[in-house]
Structure 1
Amino acid sequence: MGPKICQVCNESQSKYKCPTCLVPYCSLPCFKKHKEIPCVKPATASSERNLTSFPVLQFERPLYVDEPSEVLQQLQLESIASSSEIRDALKDGELQKLIYNIACSPDAEDELDKAREVEAFCKFTDKILSTTNPQP
C-alpha cells in the first residue's frame, strides 16, 4: 500500500490519525475541520458485528438537491451524529440492510418507497426528524 492521503482535504499525504475515529489527516487545519462534526470510535467486529456486515460506501455520483432549503444544516447533522437513540437504532441489521439497499440502488426512490412500508424504518426516520426539527 502506498502513502495514505488526507481524508479531509484529499490532497496531501496524511501524517496523523484522528485519536477518536482514526481518520487520516495531514495538518492542524484539516484536523480542526474534521472535528467540526463529532466523530466516533470505530466499532470492533466483536462488539458491533451488525455495523461491520456491510462495506463502507464511497459515493462518486453527484448529489442534486431540488430545494436547497431542505439541506440539513451543520447543527442538525451534529444532533444526528450525537444522538445515542439514532446510533442504537443503526445497530439493527435489518435497518442497515434497508439503508444499504437505498444507497446502492440505481432506483433509490423505489427502494425508499419499499423501506417506508417497514415499521423499523419509519420509526428511524421519525427519530431523525424529531432530532433535526425539535418541537418547542
Structure 2
Amino acid sequence: CGICKENIKKYKCKSCSIPYCSLDCYKKHQLTPCEQLQQKQPELINEDKNPSKNILLFTTLDTVQPEKLELLKNCDTLKNLLYNPHLRQLLREIDTATDGYRAIKAAMMEPLFVEFADECLKIVEPLDSNNDDVII
C-alpha cells in the first residue's frame, strides 16, 4: 500500500495511480491532492496559451475561427455556467460520444445546455442589430 506502507495493495487511485489497501487509506489519500494530477495541470495551461498549435485541417461554413473561440474564455457568464457539474458532465458525454450529432440533439433537450449553447453563439456569432431576419 502506497499510503500506510503496511498492507498489500488492492486498489489504485484513478487520478494518480497510487496503490492503496483499504477504504481508510483511500480516505487518507483523498485528504491531499494527487501529485500526478497537479503536474499535468501546468502542461494543459501551457497548451492553451499557444493557439497557433491548433491547426485547422479543413474548414466549412460552420467553422469558427480561433480568434472568435478565444473570446469564449473571457466570458464571465460562460464561466459561471461551467461551474455546474451537470453541464460539465453533458459536455463530457458529447465530447466522448461516438455519434456527436445524436449526443448534441439529446443535450438540446436540457435547458441548461441550451442556455450554454445560446451564450456561446452570442459571443461567436453576435446578432447584427441592423438585420432583423431570423434564420431557422
So what's the TM-score if we normalise by structure 1?
A: 0.52
2:88 is the counterpart of 1:91 = no
Q: 2:116 aligns with which of 124, 128, 136?
A: 124
Q: Which residue of 2 aligns with 1:35?
A: 49
Q: Distance in 1 between matches of 2:98 and 2:69?
A: 25
1:1-136 map, 5 Å = 22-23=42-43, 35-37=49-51, 68-136=60-128
Q: 1:70 to 1:93 in 2, by over 3 A?
A: same
- Which whole-Å CA distance do the structure 2 matches of 1:36 and 1:73 have between them? 15
Q: Structure 2, unaligned stretches of length 5 or more?
A: 1-40, 129-136
Partner of 1:58: none
Query: CA 1:111/1:34 → structure 2, altered by over 3 Å: closer, same or farther?
Result: closer
Give 1 or 2 for the bigger CA radius of gyration.
2
Letter in 2 for 1:97: Q
- For 1:12-49, what per-residue CA distance to the aligned partner results, in whole angstroms no more than 9, with x for missing partners? xxxxxxxxx72279xxxxx7x96355xxxxxxxxxxxx
- The aligned amino acid for 1:23 is E
Return the offset for 1:101: 0.9
Residue 106 (structure 1) shift: 1.4
Aligned residues: 84
1:99 Cα deviation after fit: 0.9
Distance in 1, Cα, partners of 2:66 & 2:97: 27
Q: More helix by proportion, 1 or 2?
A: 2
Identity over aligned residues, as a percent?
19
- Aligned-residue Cα RMSD (Å) equals 2.9
Which protein has greater RCO, CA pairs closer than 8 Å, 6+ apart? 1
Query: Post-superposition shift, 1:71?
Result: 1.2
